[in-house]
Structure 1
C-alpha cells in the first residue's frame, strides 16, 4: 500500500506555509519585530504542538473574523434604530439595505415576498428576507415597544455574520497547509465596512460550501449548493464555467457536467414555483436589471463622466458613453458581449496554460470580468471577490492595495450619496470618479497578476505547498486529456507554451 499522501489532501508531515518567510510583504513587515519565523521558533500551527495549546492558527483566524464582524456591527450602530435624521446614514457611513428594505419591501406590514410585493432580488434572497423579517413583524405588531426595523436588522446581521464565519472555516479547511491565508478574509477592511450592507454573504457562504463540496469530490452536492447560491445572487453560477473548462482539459468531463447539470437544475427548481405562482413579483428582478441605467462607479459611469469633459464631437454632441446611457438596451447587449468575450478569454487561458490552472484563479477572473464590464457595481459587491482572491492569490501586498482602493471608493461613495441627498456636493464629482477608477484599475491589476501566475505556475504561492489544486476535487492530480497533447503537437514551436519550472 502506498504511503504517499493523496494530492491535495493534507497530512501532518506536509510543509506548512509561514507568511513571514513566503510572502514578501509580510517578510518586510516582520523586520520591525525581529524578522521572519526561525526554524526553532514555536509556531501556532506546528502539528506536533497543536493539541497542546488552545490558540491554534484556525482559532486565531476565527476569532479575528468574529472581531471584525463585531466592529462592523458597532460601525453600523448609528443606523440600527431606523430613525435616520439629518442624513445620519450617510454622514456615519452606516446605511444598510437590510434595514431600509425591511420597510420598502413591505415586510413591516406582513407582506410575503413575491406574493404580496415584487422583490428586486433573486428568489433565495427574497425568501431569506421573509424568513427573518416576517417573524419580527408578527412579534412586534401588537407590541409597540419593539423596534421592528432594529430587530430585523439584528436578526439578519447575526445570520449573515455566521455565514461569514463559516466562509472563513471553509477557507481554513481548503488551505490546511496555508491556514494564515484565511486571515486575508478575516481582517479585510471591505468586510468590516460592507458585511451587512446587503444580503451578499448568503450567496458567498453557500458558494464557499459549494467549492468545498467540489474539493471533497462530491460534484452532485457541489452543483446543488452552487445552484442554491446562484438563486441568492447570480455570481456563484459563474464558478461552474471554470469547472467545466477544467473538466474538459483534464478529461474528467463527467464530474464537471454533473456539477453543471445539478447546479442549473437546482437553480431552475428554486425559481420555477415562484415564477409560476407569482410571475409579476418574480419578474421584478429581471425587469429592473434590463431597464436599470448606468450605475455609480462602473466603467460606463467613468466613461460618461469623461465624455462630458472631453466632448470630442463638439458643442451639443453626445459622446459614446453618453449615448449608451440614453440607450440602455444597447448598453445591456454591449456589457453582456464584453463579459462573454472575457469568459472566452479565460477559457482559452485555461487551455493554453502550461499546466492545468487551479479552479480559484479562473473563478476569480470570471467574476472580476463580470464586475469590470457590468453597468452595476454596488459597494458590497467587493465581497464577491474576497474569498475567491484569498483562494486564488493569497499575497498580502496586492491584496492590501486593492482593499485601500475599496475603502477610498467606500468613503467617496458616501460623500456622493450625501451630496445628492442634500443638493450640496461634498466634493467635486471628479473625486468620486477618481476613486471609482482606482477601484476598477486595482481589480484589473489583480486579474493581470493572476493571469501571469497561471502562465507561470512556479510563481503561484499555493502550488508551493500543494502538488496540484487543493480545490480541484475530481480534477486534482489528473493529467491532461489526450486532445490537449494533440493540440500542443499541432501548435508551432514559437507559439507553444513553455513547460513550467517546478515550484
Structure 2
C-alpha cells in the first residue's frame, strides 16, 4: 500500500531517487509526520520556482554582462536568447505594433499573436522605465540595419531582456501552481518541473514559458471540473504557441472513454472562443501580417534540432514541401496510433500520458526543434511520469543536445571547425530523440500496465479527472 503523509503522497516515501536525494535535507519524511504548519507543499513548490527562475536569469548573465554583443561567447557559454536581438530586429524599438503594416520596413513577426503582443507590451514597459524620452520618430528615419547601433536602442536592448525576464516570472510561478494542483493528493509532482535543469537552461531563450503556464492551467481547470475554463486556457496557450492545440486529442480520448462528450464540447468551445478573440484583432487589421507565422513555418526548411536537418547536413536534403508532407503524415499516423492505444487500453489512460505521447511525436517529426522547445514537454512530462529517474534520464538527453546545439552554431566543436557538417551534432539529435522515446516507452508501459503507474490509486484512477468523471467510467 502506498504510504502517504497527511493525505498527500510524499515523494520521499514513494520514489527511490527522491528518497536518496533527500539525504542532503535530513532524509525522507517520517511515517507520522504532519508536515510543517506554514510550509505547505504549494508554498514550497512556489518558493523553489522562484529560485529556479532566478537561476534561469543568472544563466543568461554572461551574455547580459557582455551586453549581448553578438560574439561567439553567447554560444560558448550557452547563454543565447532571442529576446534582446528581436527588440531592434522586429521593430519593437520603434513601437511598431506586431502584425500591423509597417510599410515594409520590417518583416512581420513570425510568432503567434499572443506572444507577439506580450513581446510588444514588454517593449512599451521597457521604454517607460528607461530614463529620458524615446524619440520614435527619429528612429523610424534611420536605416533598419543601423537602428540597433543607436546608443539609446543599444541600452534599451539590455533593459528589454531584463524587463521581459521579470514579466515572464509570474508565468513560471503560475505553471508551478497549476501543476501542483493538477493531481489530487500529489502536489509534489510539480517538483520535477520547478527543479528542472532544462527550465534553467532554456526558460529564457524565448517567450515559451507563456504557453507552458497556460497549458498547465488547462490541466488544472479540467481537474477541478471546469471544462470551459480549461478550454479557454488551452485556447490562449494555442494563441501563444501552436502546440497546446494538439493536447486536445488527449481530452478527446478520455472523454470518449468516460462518455463525457459534453465536457469535451465545452473545452473545444472555450478553446476556440479564446483563440479567436485573441487572434481576431490582428486578422481583421492586417491579414497578411497575421498569416506571417503560418507562412514562415510552412516555407522554412529543416532547422535546428530536427532529424531532417541531420539528414540534410549529411547529403539527404529534401524540399520544405516534402518535409511538410512527410512530417504531417507521420504525425497523423502517430496520433492515430495513440488514439487506438487510448481507446483499446484495458483501463482509461490518464490525460497527461496521452498528451505527452502526442507532443513527443510532434517534436520528433517536426522540422525544427529549437533548444527552448524542451520546456513545452515539461508540464506534460512531470504529470505523465511522476518518477524522478526516467525524468532525469530524459532531461540528460535534452541537456546534451542543448550544449551540442550552441557549440555547433558557434563552430566550437573539433568536428565543426572545418566548416563540414558536424557529426557530433547529429549524434546529439539522435540521443535527444532516444531520450524522449525512452520516456514515451515508460508512458506506454504505464498505460498498458497501470499497476506500474504510481499516480493511480487504482487502475482506472486519473488524478486529473474530477470524481464525477471517474464515476462515469
TM-score after normalising by structure 1: 0.82
Alignment of 1:163-178 (within 5 A): 163-178=171-186
Structure 2: tracts of 5 or more residues without a match: 135-150
Alignment of 1:84-483 (within 5 A): 84=69, 86-115=71-100, 116=102, 117=106, 118-137=108-127, 140=130, 142=133, 147-305=155-313, 308=315, 321-322=316-317, 324=318, 327-419=319-411, 424=417, 429-464=422-457, 468-473=461-466, 476-480=469-473
Larger radius of gyration: 1
SS of equivalent residue, structure 2 residue 295:
helix
The Cα shift of 1:24 comes to 3.0
The Cα shift of 1:475 comes to 6.3
Counterpart Cα distance in 2 of 1:336 and 1:395: 31
Counterpart Cα distance in 2 of 1:30 and 1:275: 52
Change (3 A) 1:263 1:142: same
TM-score after normalising by structure 2: 0.87
Q: Residues 325-364 of structure 1: CA distance to partner in whole angstroms, max 9, x if unpaired?
A: xx21121011011111111111111111111111111111
Change (3 A) 1:85 1:366: closer
Deviates more, 1:127-136 or 1:393-402: 127-136
The Cα shift of 1:286 comes to 1.0
| Match status 1:23 vs 2:31 | no
The Cα shift of 1:174 comes to 2.0
The Cα shift of 1:276 comes to 2.4
Contact 1:17 1:465 in 2 (8 A): no
RMSD: 2.7
Alignment of 1:2-13 (within 5 A): none
Contact 1:418 1:425 in 2 (8 A): no
Contact 2:214 2:236 in 1 (8 A): yes
The Cα shift of 1:35 comes to 6.6
The Cα shift of 1:28 comes to 4.8
Corresponding residue of 1:70? 54
Counterpart Cα distance in 2 of 1:402 and 1:150: 33
Q: Residues 97-126 of structure 1: CA distance to partner in whole angstroms, max 9, x if unpaired?
A: 111111111101221111135110001111
Contact 2:250 2:355 in 1 (8 A): yes
Corresponding residue of 1:489? none
Deviates more, 1:105-114 or 1:423-432: 423-432
Counterpart Cα distance in 2 of 1:301 and 1:394: 32
The Cα shift of 1:194 comes to 0.8
The Cα shift of 1:401 comes to 1.0
Deviates more, 1:351-360 or 1:145-154: 145-154
Contact 1:68 1:192 in 2 (8 A): yes
Counterpart Cα distance in 1 of 2:216 and 2:377: 12
Change (3 A) 1:35 1:429: same
SS of equivalent residue, structure 2 residue 9:
coil
Corresponding residue of 1:485? none
The Cα shift of 1:163 comes to 0.7
Corresponding residue of 2:144? none
Counterpart Cα distance in 2 of 1:271 and 1:190: 30
The Cα shift of 1:139 comes to 5.3
Counterpart Cα distance in 1 of 2:241 and 2:179: 20
Q: Residues 163-221 of structure 1: CA distance to partner in whole angstroms, max 9, x if unpaired?
A: 11111111112235223221101110100111110011111111111221111111111
| Match status 1:61 vs 2:36 | no
Contact 2:76 2:412 in 1 (8 A): no
